[in-house]
């Protein structure tokens, strides 16, 4: 049993639809699923081919009658096997695509046929602060653009391309083998449908030239390594009136000497003296927006963590900022003089006495528990 959908269902029309209704329905679907409008979308490509096949059958009175009576199985004896590719579709419905886009429908070939320009990639390095707060950068992009002399035709100014005599301008040649009709790209014009007899001296008939363009890129606050910015239409120029490609700017953020990023939070380690940790007090901590006071409690321990709310990285989605997490590192004093050492020994003796008493109490408590 055939797995193909009903052709009337594909086009979204009733079984009594007129020729005009069929054409209108197909035009709408062709515009919606056109490959140039859905680059890399395989589902759209299949829908594009399915709609073309449905219209090809239903617009032909004989094929439509057979289909209405016998369905998909009935078409097997007519020699119709669908379309081999996009070029077949563009060639068969060239007038429709010319009406839709003002150009001949194929996205392949050159001169007179529309082809979307290639997308480009640019890897951009940013400092930690530029990524956190955003920036505007000017970059140079190498790309191919429409030749300014021939305006993309590939012809020397004042001349015109000639229609290919082998394919009569269709870009394809057709061969019949029994019930089958085979369409292949024209070997003479290579699918262009036209032959340039007087090529442009500036671009050597290519219709495009290599250029270097300076592009301004606005970096939103909060980007991170791997973020991609899409600049529509800043890729290579299209061919035959096709749209330009896009430029994708891929971000690479340099590490910071003090801050480390985890999502929207930033982490830093702040060294404090043993005296500061013991007695507590106010210290100054660097933040993304300058120094900020942090009140250390008495008896702060090595590795204790504190937090500044809303002092982290902004969210790309809504601008809300994460937090700054501060980890305290207590430094052991070095280079003490004799007086400082004596004071520490006195302090140590006092602490040893306290610890000794606590230890004895713990041991006594443990002995009682055993009994």
Tell me the pLDDT tens digit for each residue of 162-218. Answer: 888 888 888 888 776 655 667 777 888 877 788 888 999 998 888 889 999 999 999
How far is C-alpha 227 from the geometric centre of its chain's CA atoms? 9
Residue whose pair of structure tokens reads 């096949």 in the numeric block: 53
Q: Is the pLDDT of residue 39 over 60?
A: yes
Q: What residue ranges do the domains of the chain occupy?
A: 7-82, 120-161+196-253, 260-331
Q: Give the mean pLDDT of the chain.
A: 83
Specify the range with the lowest mean pLDDT, choosing from 78-82, 89-93, 318-322: 78-82
Residue, of 295 and 79, whose pLDDT is higher: 295
Q: Do domains 7-82 and 120-161+196-253 have the same CATH topology?
A: no
Indicate the fold that domain 7-82 takes in CATH: Helix Hairpins (1.10.287)
Phi, psi of 177 (to 5 degrees): -130, 95
Specify the range with the lowest mean pLDDT, choosing from 56-60, 249-253, 364-368: 364-368
Specify the range with the lowest mean pLDDT, choosing from 86-100, 213-227, 320-334: 86-100
Q: What is the mean pLDDT of residues 16-24?
A: 90
Beta bridge partners of 126: 253
Q: At 289, is the pLDDT very low, low, confident or very high (cuts 50, 70, 90)?
A: very high
Distance CA 179, CA 79 (A): 5
Of the candidates 266, 274, 263, 314, the one whose C-alpha atom is nearest the C-alpha of residue 298 is 274
User: According to the model, what pLDDT value does residue 94 have?
Assistant: 62
Q: Say which CATH class 120-161+196-253 falls into.
A: mainly beta
Specify the range with the lowest mean pLDDT, choosing from 20-29, 177-186, 212-221, 356-365: 356-365
The torsion of the CA quartet 45, 49, 51, 55, rounded to 10 degrees, works out to 160
User: According to the model, what pLDDT value does residue 178 have?
Assistant: 55
Q: What is the mean pLDDT of residues 142-150?
A: 92
User: If you ran DSSP here, which 8-state letter would residue 323 be given?
Assistant: -
Answer yes or no: CATH 2.60.260.20 is held by domain 260-331. yes
């Amino acid at each position: 049993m055939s797995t193909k959908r009903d052709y009337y269902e594909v086009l979204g029309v009733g079984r009594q639809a007129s020729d005009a209704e069929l054409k209108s329905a197909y035009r709408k679907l062709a515009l919606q699923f056109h490959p140039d409008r859905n680059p890399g979308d395989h589902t759209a490509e299949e829908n594009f081919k399915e709609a073309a096949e449905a219209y090809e059958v239903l617009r032909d009175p004989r094929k439509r009658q057979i289909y209405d009576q016998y369905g998909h199985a009935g078409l097997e004896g007519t020699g119709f096997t669908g379309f081999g590719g996009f070029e077949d579709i563009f060639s068969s419905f060239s007038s429709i695509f010319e009406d839709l886009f003002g150009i001949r429908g194929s996205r392949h070939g050159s001169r007179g046929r529309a082809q979307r320009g290639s997308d480009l990639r640019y890897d951009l390095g940013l400092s930690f602060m530029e990524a956190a707060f955003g920036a505007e950068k000017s970059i140079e992009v190498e790309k191919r653009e429409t030749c300014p002399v021939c305006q993309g035709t590939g012809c020397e100014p004042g001349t015109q391309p000639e229609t290919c005599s082998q394919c009569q301008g269709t870009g394809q040649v057709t061969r019949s083998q029994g019930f089958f009709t085979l369409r292949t790209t024209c070997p003479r014009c290579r699918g262009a449908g036209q032959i340039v007899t007087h090529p442009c001296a500036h671009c050597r008939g290519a219709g495009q030239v290599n250029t270097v363009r300076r592009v301004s890129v606005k970096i939103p606050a909060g980007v991170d390594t791997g973020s991609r910015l899409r600049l529509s239409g800043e890729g290579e120029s299209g061919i035959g009136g096709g749209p330009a490609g896009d430029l994708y700017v891929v971000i690479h953020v340099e590490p910071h000497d003090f801050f480390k990023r985890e999502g929207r939070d930033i982490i830093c380690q702040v060294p404090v003296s043993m005296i500061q940790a013991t007695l507590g007090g106010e210290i100054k901590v660097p933040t993304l927006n300058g120094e900020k006071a942090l009140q250390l409690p008495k008896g702060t321990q090595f590795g204790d963590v504190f937090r500044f709310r809303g002092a982290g990285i902004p969210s790309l989605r809504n601008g809300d900022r994460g937090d700054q997490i501060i980890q305290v590192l207590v430094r052991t004093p070095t280079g003490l003089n004799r007086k400082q050492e004596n004071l520490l020994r006195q302090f140590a003796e006092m602490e040893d006495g306290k610890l000794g008493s606590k230890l004895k109490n713990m041991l006594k408590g443990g002995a009682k528990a055993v009994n």
